[in-house]
Amino acid sequence: MENKHKGEWSMVIFVTGLHHSGTTVLAKFVEACGAKPVGSDFRPTKSHPKGYKEASQLTQLAEKVLNDAGYSWYDVPSYRNISETNKIYNILYHSEYIKKIADLIYSDELFYVKDPRLVIFAKGIENYFGKYSNFVFFYTSRPLNHCINSLLKEYKTYLSDQKIIKCCEYYNKYQIHSCPDKSIHTVNSFVYFIKKLREQNRLSGDWVNCINYIFWLLIVDKRIKYDDLKIIKEMLEFTKDYKI
């Protein structure tokens, strides 16, 4: 598909947040606004028949970075452990993953990459690319206990409660303390896109009605489940104090 907004939309959007915090919902919204997903091999699951919007080419490379540092998606170092996080960043900087990201950042298209692991990698990616303007991080915001309960339901057969709770708490600390300067949280990411769409006369009306309109299109088009609205409501409630 030809990029009709070449130049204006040259950007990579990193969609991230805690596991089960609504990153898939936010990725669907970003895609509905014109961003292209990276890759197409989205692993289907029972809860997400069309996948989590995470291309396995990139998630496998991301997991390899963590594995090479002695960690995994559910077992990461504390954000306070500077030597271990720096070890992850050093491996990240020399990995195929960062090369893939570089190809996107220096392209002239609007792409999005969705992966909760980016919570861990975010500061490293920002440090690596400096102040290069063509990327931004969109973070989901959902109450920590909701993420924990959701993960417990899905992974209780092979991960202990303690591991899941620790995983969520650590990711949450990274999100609070290590998010890049160029990051936008849930409500503001919606507003950001609505402003862009309105600037280009692609949507009209106030931003709340635009968001409702896009969500409605997503539901009708079956790209988002009606049940996802519950997660959206939680995110909006949780982030209602964010200012535009």
State pLDDT tens for residues 151-200.
998 888 889 999 999 999 999 999 888 888 778 776 666 666 666 666 66
Distance between CA atoms of 79 and 86, rounded to whole angstroms?
10
Distance between CA atoms of 119 and 171, rounded to whole angstroms?
7
Strand extents, DSSP E, the chain: 11-16, 36-37, 110-114, 135-139, 183-185
State pLDDT tens for residues 220-233.
555 555 566 666 66
Whether pTM > 0.85 for this model: the answer is no
Domain ranges of the chain: 11-238
Class of domain 11-238: alpha beta
Least confident of 44-48, 51-55, 112-116, 135-139: 44-48
